[in-house]
Amino acid sequence: MDRLEAMAMLVEAIEGGSLSAAGRRLRVPLPTLSRKISELEAHLGTRLLIRSTRRLTLTEAGAAYLAASKQILEQVGEAERVAAGEYSAPKGDLVLTTPIAFGRRHVLPMVTDFLALYPEINVRLMLSDRNVHLVDDHVDMAVRIGALPDSAMAATRVGTVRQVVCGSPAFLAAHGVPKTPEEISELACVTHDFIAPATSWMFRAPGAKSETAVPIHSRLSVTTAEAAVDAAVAGLGLTRLISYQVATAVARNELQLVLTRFEPEPMPINLLHAGQGLLPLKMRCFLDFAAPRLRAAMAALPV
């Protein structure tokens, strides 16, 4: 029995939520995958999984074995990367994740230039507004916007962005330009809501040490920043987005910023990676390539 293979199958089954999902991802027939995990359980003399028609559940022994398996597989992968020369030559696969709008506007063009410069590196660019777990999801580096929690991750600051409120010139002409945050409670708003509709926006008065929540009336809730921009440009209401998301519309005078004196503290932008050990050369090359370009792009934003 190949125990490393069985460990990898166990990890995929738990992370994928089912044996069938793991089989599809690993391109292994379901009966084969099930048999190999059963053989692993027989070898260990204990049950690792409780299988039902709806989900997989780890036993206490299974949870401990899963954690050890992940560590072992990561160490094996590290040894293979060293042997393959990833620490002596810039080559191999690089997995990056970034917020959708930021990635399309700023990261994808940079990745295109990076690939032209390093022909032996391949990039998988994951555009997602969900913060994926770098280690569990096997991601090398992430662009993160916002305050970072204390962790063992290494962060390289590349700039800041603002949370801005804006509306179309036609909407503001018809309904008036709000002078204080409280005035927006009487105006229609377009909200960009990834999980649930927003009921308030945070503002900070000049000189204040804390922020204040102001209730809003969301006439339209959308799940992408692009849709919120389009709706605001069409005159449906005010919207609050990150400055880079509205930069093009503001530059074209399709949107106008309001309440700039009451904006919260700017949010940091970081390139984030696991901080343990020596960086593979492909990651060091990307970090050295990307950081100054992103700093220049953020400094040049018109908003």
Helix locations, the chain, DSSP H: 3-16, 19-26, 30-44, 60-84, 100-102, 108-117, 169-175, 225-233, 243-251, 281-299
- Identify the pLDDT of residue 278: 67
Q: What is the pLDDT of residues 35-44, one digit of tens each?
A: 888 888 888 8
Classified as helix, coil or strand, 231 is helix
Classified as helix, coil or strand, 245 is helix
- Identify the pLDDT of residue 28: 82
- Identify the pLDDT of residue 81: 64
Highest mean pLDDT, choosing among 5-14, 24-33, 88-97, 237-246: 237-246
* DSSP single-letter state for residue 91: -
Specify whether the CB–CB gap between 257 and 165 falls below 8 A.
Answer: yes
- Identify the pLDDT of residue 276: 60
pLDDT confidence band for 80 (50 / 70 / 90): low
- Average pLDDT for residues 58-73, to the nearest whole number? 84
Taking the model in full, what pTM does it have? Answer: 0.66
Q: What is the pLDDT of residues 91-138, one digit of tens each?
A: 889 999 999 889 998 999 999 999 999 999 999 999 988 877 777 778
Provide, for the chain, the percentages of residues in helix, strand and coil under a 3-state DSSP scheme, each rounded to the nearest 5.
45, 25, 30
Q: How far apart are CA 108 and CA 96, in angstroms?
A: 10
| Domains, the chain | 3-84 (1.10.10.10), 92-157+268-299 (3.40.190.10), 163-262 (3.40.190.10)
- Label residue 102 exposed, middle or buried (CB < 10 Å: 0-12, 13-18, 19+): buried
